Amino acid sequence: MVGPSSGVAMTDNEIAWDLSLIVGDASMDEVKKRMDVLVGEFKEFSDKYGAKIATMAAAEIATMLREREALEIEASDLINYGMLKFEACSTDKEASQLNSWARETASQLDQLGTPLEIRLGTRMSEDEKLIDHADLSDYRHYLERLKAEAPYRLSEEAEKAVIQKDVNGIRLMSQLQGAWVSEKTFDVEVKGEKKTLSYPQLGALRMDPDRDTRKMATVTLYGDLAEDKLLHSMALRSICGDHMSMVKIRGMPSPMTQSLLDQDVDEEAIDTLLSTIESTADSFQEFLMLKAKVMGLDKLAGHDVIAPITTDPVWKFDWDAARKVVTEAFVSFNDEIGGVVEAMFTNKRIDAANRLGKTYGAFCARHAGARSSFVLVSFNETMNDVFTLAHELGHAAQGHVTTHKQTLTNWRTSSCLAEMGSIFGELLLTDKLLGMSKSKEEKMEILAHVLGGYYYTVYYVGLRALFEKSIYETIASGKVIDAETACELWNDAKKRIFADSVDWTEFMEYEWARIPHHFIPNFRFYNYSYSFAQMLVFALYEAYKQEGESFLKRFDELLGGGNTKSVRQHLKDFGYDLSDPAFWELGAKQANRFLEEFRKLV
């Protein structure tokens, strides 16, 4: 069977990314100098166009936007370079300095760019016909979004002040919280062997096949978060409190308004999504009961919810096996996409090593100048790691399609659609592994994993939106968000999804403190987009299985649509209606087919 562990230890050189692809052999000081030059070039650009926007013709506006894009490509890469160095190793002094410079550069560019967008949004509000001008066809939806944001913008000076106060305020608080946990080490005993583990390594053990090991990891990790509850609760209170203040100052109708504008989706769709999640949670609870039965338990404990179903996993992967099976899964869909994924490995665009100071979690970051990406994961040879790798490489594949179809302004995609490539990649991997399965145990392990991933994302991640809504309701009522209050609200949200299907492990009321998305400044309600995307992509994958080759072109257009339409319009053009309740049932049908197959095996 493909995927047996070789037992060969991985080294950083084998699985570390090569960030020199961004800056060549430039020294740290040369990178800083280029950042400073870019700030100057952006200032010249701002001075050139700022005062003219109110009277510029459509062709002039298009020229301005194209000039800005040329500047933004290098700016994006230099800023990402500094941040990615830090994400890979926050204990490295050079990386820390580059990250500081990168964040300061990003803030300066925001301060220069925001006034232009304010004026452009105002211009579109005052001259609505301009949006439909042929010269601006490539930027139409971008301009529509600026117009929608215009009523909530402050004066230019006020917006500059907000950006500046965030640098040493909520952004620094967020960075502190993230760095605090990433630099932690834990002295633990794993199966009789004493080890010193990093935060990502300990986190990975929460999914260890051995029940005692994952209980130890769960209690240790969440116990540590509980011990540092003052730091985490203060960070949460600071970031969420700041958001509520800005909602009032901007005159937004609700704490979710900024998210709806950012995600380019309407509140009706999200309310329907969250309502559907609550009303269909019984299928998740059934899966948990089936899982408990397979594991020989009367009821799952908290440390069993995301665990594999067996103490002796059938599937094992070393790095080479993981690379092979993931690449082949993408090739089975499309040779071009498979080539994009293979190039991520051969061009050293993946950082999968475990090291002290490395950011916990996984992500895909864009390399604008190369129309490519970099991926960060922490590979511990588990099946979950292989699916995470497929997920992030799916992001890279979607990024490739988008950057080769759209102008830079339209690269950014709503998170509701940005997860299409990633989740689709997971499903391709699922089919690949199911096709390789030769026994009931092999098939059951795969189905348990994919169902666990679906239910986790739709329901476990979905409850984060319920938690976040309750946070802002609590703040609005005048109550202080301390650690105890946050834990109470988290438990209430879990109850709405899990009911009594799980006996929660000690300290798991502090799960909210482990989730990085709760501490992202100026980006609230990030989590519902994952649930949205999971249900959407399961529906898309069902269409792919039914349509075959005819699906590919339609999906390619959707995958690479970027910021050219709203989420609702993108999906309408594909054939889905967000106003139709049946839409939300499509993904569940695919999941139910997996569940029925799993039920038969149980």
Query: Tens of pLDDT along 376-423?
Result: 999 988 888 999 999 999 999 999 999 999 999 999 899 899 999 999
Q: What is the total count of domains within the chain?
A: 1
CATH of the domain at 136: 1.20.140
pLDDT at 4: 32
Tens of pLDDT, residue by residue over 495-535, are 999 999 999 999 999 999 999 889 988 888 888 988 999 99
Any domain includes 130 = yes
Any domain includes 40 = yes
> Does residue 578 surpass a pLDDT of 90?
no
Any domain includes 29 = yes
373, containing H or E segment? strand 372-376
pLDDT at 564: 96
455 confidence band (pLDDT: 50, 70, 90): very high
E-strand stretches of 229-342:
300-301
Amino acid type, 202: L
Tens of pLDDT, residue by residue over 14-42, are 689 999 999 999 999 999 999 999 999 99
Which residue shows structure tokens 């069977």?
1
Any domain includes 236 = no
Any domain includes 454 = no
Residue 307 near residue 519, CB atoms below 8 Å = no
Contacts of 476 (CB under 8 A, 6+ apart): 244
pTM for the model stands at: 0.82
Tens of pLDDT, residue by residue over 468-498, are 999 999 999 999 999 999 999 999 999 999 9
- Provide the token pair at 519: 């501490």
Any domain includes 349 = no
> Does residue 95 surpass a pLDDT of 90?
yes
pLDDT at 508: 97
Any domain includes 56 = yes
pLDDT at 552: 92
- Provide the token pair at 371: 């129309």
Task: Return the DSSP state at 460.
Answer: I
Half-sphere exposure of 377 (CA within 13 A, CB side): 24
Mean pLDDT of 289-311: 93
Half-sphere exposure of 519 (CA within 13 A, CB side): 24
The residue range of the domain holding 52 is: 13-168
Any domain includes 90 = yes
Residue 85 near residue 95, CB atoms below 8 Å = yes
156 confidence band (pLDDT: 50, 70, 90): confident
Between vectors from CA 298 to CA 295 and to CA 303, what angle results, nearest 5°? Answer: 60
